[in-house]
Amino acid sequence: MPTLNSEAFLAPRLESIRRQTLTDWELVVVDSQSDDATLAMIDAFTEQGGIVRVYQGPRDGIYTNINRSIEYAQGEYIYIATSDDTMADDCLEKMANTLDRHPDCGLAHCPLRLLDSQGDAVRDNWWPVRSTFARSSGVMVDQNHIRKAPYDGLLHMLGKTVYTSLTQLLIRRSLFDGIGLFRSDWGSISDYYWDMRASLTTDTAHVGDTWASWRVHDTQATASADVGQNKHTAKVDEMIDRALADAKDDLPVEVLGCLDAWREDAKALRRFLQSMRRMGGRSRRWAFVTGQLLKGSAPARRYVGGKLLRTESWPEDAPGVIADWLDSVGLQTVDRIETS
């Protein structure tokens, strides 16, 4: 748990840890010289029992302090307990049990609940319906299943994160040993690179019957990420290229033979989706699509085809493009697993 003046949201987070049905845990806190009540709250929590170790670090970024806490931790599994979020009482137990049963999976993942600054559920809880993960899962979004690498990794090529929040992940420590810790090159969205790099490499077990939260408020690290702006787009493009390059030795040979073509197709698809999201009205959207058709754009052809067939779900079904790529080379994307 990295902390910096976290008192406004820290009590619910600590309480969510205390209530965990998995009791064999240690809490490693790296505090960046807080000058509010953060340390006093952690001291009071420590007095209630459990293994809690507190370290001080400089104010040099959230990812640097996450990395420090990972290096100090001694457990087989790592959960990044951001100080302003919470989780279900059975979250750690269910994800840890799933990783125990599936040693080939380096990640366990759970559904996300969005909260407002007061800790209440937001009215528009878009994650179960409109997130990239949900759209790539369909009816299995609340069912246990294994997502076979490099499916989730390639889904990142659409330009939107697949694992919305680090709070959704339980990470096998050996995965950090294999691919490294978090980088901070791209500011507050740098976890996009690590998530893509990891999911290109390892299978992910989705545990559909528990949850973690993501609190949306003005002071969170990602509040100034400039999503949708050219600067943000450039960072995402750079992270995608870097993750693909760094994971090259981990990718199946079937993927390597197609990777250059897929990379270019994915970039065209990203640009089309980004432009569509920026179009303010139907007439502007169709003028853009018409122009793209005249240029021979494959994404535009797919969009028009969806309209003509009355599926009207595209570009929302864009994850299906990635699944089709993998199916074309005989690679599996998901595998249903037991529910207990």
Task: Please give the residue that has the higher pLDDT: either 338 or 130.
Answer: 130
pLDDT tens-digit map of 143-162: 999 999 999 999 999 999 99
**Domain 1-75: CATH architecture, name and number where available:** Alpha-Beta Complex (3.90)
The whole-chain average pLDDT of the chain stands at 92
The residue ranges of every structural domain in the chain are: 1-75, 230-332
pLDDT for the residue 38 = 97
pLDDT tens figures, 5-59 = 999 999 999 999 999 999 999 999 999 999 999 999 999 999 998 899 999 989 9
Q: For position 223, what pLDDT does the model report? A: 44
Q: Sorting pLDDT into bands at 50, 70 and 90, what band is 171?
A: very high
Which tokens sit at 76? 């087989």
**Residue 168 pLDDT > 60, yes or no?**
yes
Residue 314's pLDDT is 52
pLDDT value of residue 105:
98
What integer pLDDT is reported at residue 152 of this predicted model?
98
Give per-residue pLDDT as tens, 193-217.
999 999 999 999 999 999 999 998 6
Give the pLDDT confidence score for residue 224 in this predicted structure: 45
* pLDDT at residue number 306: 74
Whether the predicted pLDDT of 299 surpasses 70: yes
Q: Per residue, what are the HEC states of the chain?
A: CEECCCHHHHHHHHHHHHCCCCCCCEEEEEECCCCCCHHHHHHHHHCCCCEEEEEECCCCCHHHHHHHHHHHCCCCEEECCCCCCCECCCHHHHHHHHHHHCCCEEEEECCEEEECCCCCECCCCCHHHHCHHHHHHHHHHHCCEEECCCHHHHHHHHCCCCCCCHHHEEEEHHHHHHHCCCCCCCHHHCHHHHHHHHHHHCEEEECCCCCEEEECCCCCHHHHCCCCCHHHHHHHHHHHHHHHHHCHHHCCHHHHCCHHHHHHHHHHHHHHHHHHHHCCCHHHHHHHHHHHHHCCCHHHHHHHHHHHCCCCCCCCCCHHHHHHHHHHCCCCCEEECCCC
Mean pLDDT for 182-186 is 96
Q: What is the pLDDT of residues 262-286, one digit of tens each?
A: 999 999 989 988 888 888 788 888 8
